[in-house]
Structure 1
Amino acid sequence: MQVCIYAKRYQSDFWYQGYTLTLPAHQMAMENAKQCARVADGEGYSLELVGQWPDFLYEPLETCSATLQELNFLAQKLSQMSQEEMDTYEGVIQSVPERAIRNLINAAYNLDCFELLPGIMDEEELGEVSMENDLVPAIRNLPDEVYPLLSLKKVGHYVKEQEQGVFTSKGYCCRNTEGWVEPYDGRELPEQVTEVDCIFCLRLQSLKTKADARLELPCDEGRIRQTLADLGIHTFQECTIMEIRSPIPQFEYVFSQAAEVEKMNALAKELATLSPKELIKYKAIASYESCDNPEQARILYHTMDRYTFDPIQVTFATYGRECLREGGANLEAEAFQNFDFESYGKAESRRSRLSMTPYGAISYEPPLEEAQGHGIQMGEM
């Protein structure tokens, strides 16, 4: 299940594509997705369902107003359902009076109040099953010769009306018990776990005992010793990293091959000193350099001042417009009515040695001695 996030202020830009996030996602991933979509705090955004959502959910979700947090929470509940529960859930959401996101979430908590009869697809089939199993009290005492004269469809229609049941793509769904719980009041989502503000959140597993432990980085030596004791090991080489969560999503994949916890902790201590704006710049640098190991990540931290970062740039088209404005061009003039700002922006970015990342435009400024070295080599050629 995926969702594409769009900042409303950029949706008029033809080249703006928003950012696609796979759900369910942890809180740091959702915050990163908003940054990549250029959604500022408190700013409006829109969501578009993409990827493999259950077919029956597209219509209700596209017609209701949901936040990213609500959609992510619903995706989490769906990911925990068995196929039988998912089939029942389809019937439950057809039974709710209003398909608001609040009701769609609460419906996931009420599956036990409903029963799905698989394969019963219309009123005639429902009537046949109901009569065969003597489930219609209103006709129980009729003479035997009357039953063949009854319309199965009308019997099924009567049963459906009495039970307020619905037909789904999988069968017939109706209530089997009374009651309806509402864990979500439309304001505060249930079962929410506050995530620690950290650079790395690790789930470690001992290779020997298979014990699990969580470790948030950066941390002190005392926390490291306690984690090793919880795992029943002496060094982190005796465990493996089962999961990494980070505000830098790139690091969730490239650092998961080996348990280099000490190196990751040293990196986390340095990155924790960055302000929110500096961290976004660092994320852009890591993306630009395709950073894939702790040593490179630390080098990039210590050389951040060699990079120029412009978070305002969203697409090459916006960069092309800015270049033209700075050159004194009147973009409202008729000459620019059908102008290809995207291609112009790409050409100008190549000339300026500028690259576009999900966080903004980035360019590298080598130190003077490095630039002079390249100049000498070119002269020798």
Structure 2
Amino acid sequence: MDKQSRNRLPEQCLFMNANGEIMRIEYGKPGFSRSELNTENRKANQVIVNSYNEKHGITAEQVDTMHQGALFGWNVPQLSQQEHSGMEGGRIFEVEISRPGSFGAETSSTLKLPATPYQILDALDKARITDKRVIYSTKIIGCELDYLPQFIGTNANLYELNHLTERLSSLNEWELDCFEGMVMMDTIRTQYSPIAIDRLINMTHSMKDCHVVYEAHNDSTLGKFYADNDFVPELENVPDEIYECLDFGKIGKEMREGEGGVFTPHGYVVQNGEISQTYHSGDAVPLEKPDYTVLLRITKGYFNDPQYDNNLVAFLKLPADDEMLSQAVEAVKAASPEECVFSAADCMIPSLTEKIEDSLYESEGDRYGLVNELAQQLRHIKEENGVLTYKAMLETTPADISLEDALDLAFLTGEFEILSETASPADYAEKEVQRMMSFESDDGLEQFCNLEGYGRYLMEKYGIAETPYGLLEQQNGRTVEQCLNRPSQSHGMEMK
């Protein structure tokens, strides 16, 4: 695996464990191994670790990321740290996903980016993109950076768009100003042609050679800035009375054209280096679906003690056993789970993420245990191909459904069937009429039937619910709401 696909992480790094031993982490491999550089002297080991990592340009942040990967897996999503972002709210794009043809027009879905892996899969489910062979389009319908959509091609990959927004949401205001300048420079050079997504992503890695002159908005102010700050050697010894008569507009124009800079609404931007080649086309497209059903973000509680508090973050993939939980607690240097703050980072059923979050913050009972039990049942649903059915079931429930009720319903997916290729009551009526009359085609059917009205009549008669994932059909004569009113059952089911 090359450096680009590793998101700039090193092939290996060193760290010192709690016993003072030098441990090696290799990218992509689980766990740690003792380094051959280990000695019996703890202080010497620390010097060796620091020297090795510094020599290879490995930062403390990269070591922490490698440590997380070795403990919890290398495909945990790198969720954007919005507290360092210049983008308020962190949502940069809103996109519309649709299949071609009339059916796709009825089932298109919208998604705000950046999104978690399961939020993306959920939007594809709503758009009925349930097979990799189904062609679909992604159209940007909203953007916080209003200048950007016009320069992105119509064939942009959804996952690469998401990666671009993850990168943008991690940039501070100065970096975003640099990015806008680089986009403008590129479009001028190419006469406003679309910019490839991989190049846009690489622009977000190319700030080190960027400069922004905020006080310069035209050639005159740019020329004055360069002259005043001794960037024009020929003017260093010019007398003051002549200096005031200089044509700063001409100076600024020559400087701008010579270095290829541009004026943006924020000022003058110039990039004096090459655009990075950190990202290669296709790197952001996942090979597999996430290997968790719920992903928790874990931090240490705040105890108002500078010597005990820290900013460490760990991710825990559920379902998890006690050992995995202990490793996550140890990773944030907490003494026990009770010292930790748990939050929901992602869930196979996105509509449950907020409920999981609320449940984790409740103080009574074993809230983590409930969430882990739900994660176990979600894995079972996934293995039984019941995910779409369960999502559709939840769509028919009240908004204030509890997490306990959601867990109850997770055991009843076998009582329903999702008709994902049926987009509307009219579609359902058409299929029913064809089935009853043995029609081989629907020629002229709409001329003689009010399919929409007949479809709604049939759906009400048979208790069929309309959801974003398709029509939800009962199998045993009970609606989802009726299922919720049944007596609670014990969930001692052990998952394989």
TM-score under structure 1 length normalisation: 0.80
Aligned match of 1:243:
344
For the pair 1:333 / 2:427, whether they are aligned, the reply is no
Matches within 5 A, 1:99-178: 99-137=195-233, 151-175=247-271, 177-178=272-273
Aligned match of 1:57:
148
For the pair 1:322 / 2:431, whether they are aligned, the reply is yes
Q: Is the 8 A contact 2:107 2:126 kept in 1?
A: no
For residues 108 and 341 of structure 1, the distance between their equivalents in structure 2, rounded to whole angstroms, comes to: 52
> Residue 115 of structure 2 aligns to a residue in which SS?
coil
For the pair 1:353 / 2:443, whether they are aligned, the reply is no
Aligned match of 2:67:
none
CA drift at 1:139: 6.3
CA drift at 1:51: 3.9
User: What's the C-alpha RMSD, in Å, of the aligned pairs?
Assistant: 3.5
Aligned match of 1:198:
292
Aligned match of 1:218:
319
For residues 186 and 71 of structure 1, the distance between their equivalents in structure 2, rounded to whole angstroms, comes to: 11
For the pair 1:287 / 2:376, whether they are aligned, the reply is no
Letter in 1 for 2:356: F
Q: Is the 8 A contact 1:166 1:173 kept in 2?
A: yes
For residues 261 and 296 of structure 1, the distance between their equivalents in structure 2, rounded to whole angstroms, comes to: 16
C-alpha spacing 1:48/1:205, structure 2 compared with 1 (3 Å)? same
For residues 64 and 154 of structure 1, the distance between their equivalents in structure 2, rounded to whole angstroms, comes to: 40
Quote the sequence identity (%): 24
For residues 267 and 457 of structure 2, the distance between their equivalents in structure 1, rounded to whole angstroms, comes to: 58
Residue by residue, what CA displacement relative to the aligned partner does 1:64-97 show, whole Å, maximum 9, x if unpaired?
Answer: 5321111111111111111121112100112235
CA drift at 1:359: 1.7
For residues 103 and 222 of structure 2, the distance between their equivalents in structure 1, rounded to whole angstroms, comes to: 52
Residue by residue, what CA displacement relative to the aligned partner does 1:77-127 show, whole Å, maximum 9, x if unpaired?
Answer: 111111121112100112235611111111111112111111422223323
For residues 367 and 335 of structure 1, the distance between their equivalents in structure 2, rounded to whole angstroms, comes to: 30
For residues 222 and 353 of structure 1, the distance between their equivalents in structure 2, rounded to whole angstroms, comes to: 45
For residues 345 and 246 of structure 1, the distance between their equivalents in structure 2, rounded to whole angstroms, comes to: 34
Q: Is the 8 A contact 1:255 1:293 kept in 2?
A: no
> Residue 217 of structure 2 aligns to a residue in which SS?
coil
- Give the alignment partner of residue 305 of structure 1, picking from 385, 389, 414: 414
CA drift at 1:218: 1.7
Letter in 2 for 1:38: R
Q: Is the 8 A contact 2:223 2:253 kept in 1?
A: yes
> Residue 359 of structure 2 aligns to a residue in which SS?
coil
CA drift at 1:280: 1.9
Aligned match of 2:11:
none
- 5+ long unaligned stretches in structure 2: 1-91, 304-308, 361-366, 479-496
C-alpha spacing 1:52/1:178, structure 2 compared with 1 (3 Å)? closer
C-alpha spacing 1:237/1:103, structure 2 compared with 1 (3 Å)? same
CA drift at 1:282: 1.8
- 5+ long unaligned stretches in structure 1: 369-381
Q: Is the 8 A contact 1:15 1:315 kept in 2?
A: no
Aligned match of 1:88:
178
CA drift at 1:331: 4.4
Q: Is the 8 A contact 1:6 1:18 kept in 2?
A: yes
C-alpha spacing 1:138/1:206, structure 2 compared with 1 (3 Å)? closer
CA drift at 1:279: 2.0
C-alpha spacing 1:364/1:193, structure 2 compared with 1 (3 Å)? closer
Aligned match of 1:71:
161
C-alpha spacing 1:262/1:285, structure 2 compared with 1 (3 Å)? same
**Total equivalences in the alignment:** 362
CA drift at 1:140: 6.3
- Give the alignment partner of residue 364 of structure 1, picking from 458, 474, 477: 474
For the pair 1:35 / 2:134, whether they are aligned, the reply is no
C-alpha spacing 1:185/1:199, structure 2 compared with 1 (3 Å)? closer
Residue by residue, what CA displacement relative to the aligned partner does 1:333-361 show, whole Å, maximum 9, x if unpaired?
Answer: 39649x97656544543343211222211
CA drift at 1:195: 7.7
For residues 165 and 213 of structure 1, the distance between their equivalents in structure 2, rounded to whole angstroms, comes to: 42
Letter in 2 for 1:182: Q
TM-score under structure 2 length normalisation: 0.63
Residue by residue, what CA displacement relative to the aligned partner does 1:128-153 show, whole Å, maximum 9, x if unpaired?
Answer: 33344443356667787776665443
C-alpha spacing 1:92/1:364, structure 2 compared with 1 (3 Å)? same
CA drift at 1:295: 2.7
> Residue 148 of structure 2 aligns to a residue in which SS?
helix
For the pair 1:25 / 2:115, whether they are aligned, the reply is yes
Aligned match of 2:139:
48
For residues 477 and 451 of structure 2, the distance between their equivalents in structure 1, rounded to whole angstroms, comes to: 32
